[in-house]
Amino acid sequence: MKVAVLDSKGKDTGRKVELSKDVFGIEPNDHAIYLDVKQYLAHQRQGTHKAKERAEIAGSTRKIKKQKGTGTARAGSIKSPVFRGGGRIFGPRPKDYTQKLNKNVKRLARKSALSQKTLDKALVVIEDFGFDTPKTKDFVGVLSALGIENKKSLIILGDNDNNVYLSSRNFKGSEVVKNSELSTYKILNAKSLVLTESAVESIQANLAK
């Protein structure tokens, strides 16, 4: 499967890159995608939620009213959950939300996501590019040349380019990542997927195992 390589100005360079059918041309596995996305979203949760229960509330232990003759239920502590300022019944506790997922399933999910983008014709390959200094205007110019300035996009670089990354931070709707930071969720969350030539080589080397 060959795809034309564009330059940073959106022009055809006349070259083509070969996309591996084992990575970009498989039948998407929806269940593997579901498991990988679920794990990714679960790992975004800090799990630091905490509410004080009755034993953790600071308050007097004095009996607040007499036991009989009030016409209401007995009350032995101001820290009781039935009173304002009392402890919460079965409140949230810190929890670890991490999930285990087999690496072969994760690899299958990423292949499936890339193949889905290829089927949707939402994948573009451009030659490696860079900026002399971080400048949002230059980054927007690249997106405009590719016709995706108004779409949620994900640009995948082969190597870390700090100037390209810094140029993209102020532009809402587009994200720049290295190929090692690629995830199934980020691939599917973008309407357009832009890969540099070096990123294609790295991704195929990592996923074609």
Domains of the chain with CATH codes: 2-45+99-207 (3.40.1370.10), 46-96 (no CATH)
CA distance 90 to 32: 35
Q: Sheet containing 12-18: which strands, arranged edge to edge?
A: 12-18, 2-6, 123-126, 192-196, 153-157, 174-178
Mean pLDDT along residues 200-208: 89
pLDDT digits (tens, 9 = 90+) for 145-199: 999 988 999 999 988 788 999 999 888 889 999 888 899 999 999 999 999 999 9
Arithmetic mean of pLDDT over the chain: 91
Alpha-carbon gap, residue 164 to 155, rounded angstroms = 10
- Using CA atoms, how far apart are residues 173 and 158, in angstroms rounded to an integer? 21
DSSP state of 96: -
How far is 59 from 78, CA to CA, in rounded Å? Answer: 7
**171: left (phi > 0), else alpha (psi -120 to 50), else beta?**
beta
Rounded CA-CA distance 204/186 in Å is 18
52-75 average pLDDT score: 89
The stretch 126-141 carries a mean pLDDT of 91
* Residue 148: other Cβ atoms inside 10 A: 22
User: What mean pLDDT do residues 24-47 have?
Assistant: 96
Confidence check: pLDDT of 209 > 70: no
- Of the candidates 39, 1, 55, the one whose C-alpha atom is nearest the C-alpha of residue 23 is 1
The structure's pTM equals 0.82
**Residues 153, 173: contact at Cβ < 8 Å?**
yes
